[in-house]
Structure 1
Amino acid sequence: MSQNDPMMNNPYMGGGAPTPQYTPYQQPQYYPAPSSKWNAMSIAGFVCSFFFSLIGLVLSIIGYSQTKKTGERGGDFAIAGIIISAVSIALSVLACILVFVLFGTVFTAAVLQ
């Protein structure tokens, strides 16, 4: 009998049990453990975002990109620093616009009278 004979793979016809097809064993993928080291740039950006918004924004963005590349801790601090700095800069710009409009209105009213 040849190996391609259908009777050979039929257990009821005396050919024995069919040979099971196994997939090769795959090694489990291990991911590196998160680093316990903190990223100093992201922490510095977070702290600076309260006092020096522009510097805090730059440091937080750099720190966030570093945490993504190296797997260090501190990515949450960097995101918080980015948000705090952006909101602070936006409020500062709005306050400057408001002050200029207010003084322009007061100055124009004073000159016209």
Structure 2
Amino acid sequence: MRNLLADNIRIAPEGGFKGFGTLGTVQDQGFMNLATFISMVIGVMTVVAIIWFLFTLITGAISIIGSGGDKQALESARKKITTGVVGLVVVIASIFILDLIGTIFGIDFLDIFSLLGKIQIFQSQ
């Protein structure tokens, strides 16, 4: 007896589709490259935020020293330092918020490799 139902027809090969050439044999390399890129961007942005905080702190301190009793210059320097501190707090708080959201939903946003590893585009049957 022949079975001609459409759900028994396999379109994909047994091992799944493979790429051609040396680039096609690398599996999951795209996910790893994307994960590495995202992790590097997060790291670089954090380092830039810390350097920017130090820059605003130092320039604010120099402005306070150089204000010479001028209340307007002193207030401007205080605002500069406050802006730097608020920016640093926002960066640190965003990391903690991402970690908290990840803990609540069971997704580790800060570990990009495991997050992208869970995404499956093609499932072999």
- Asked which structure has the greater RCO (Cα within 8 Å, sep 6+), the reply is 2
Shorter-chain TM-score above 0.5: no
The TM-score with structure 2 as length reference comes to: 0.36
The structure that is helix-richer by fraction is 2
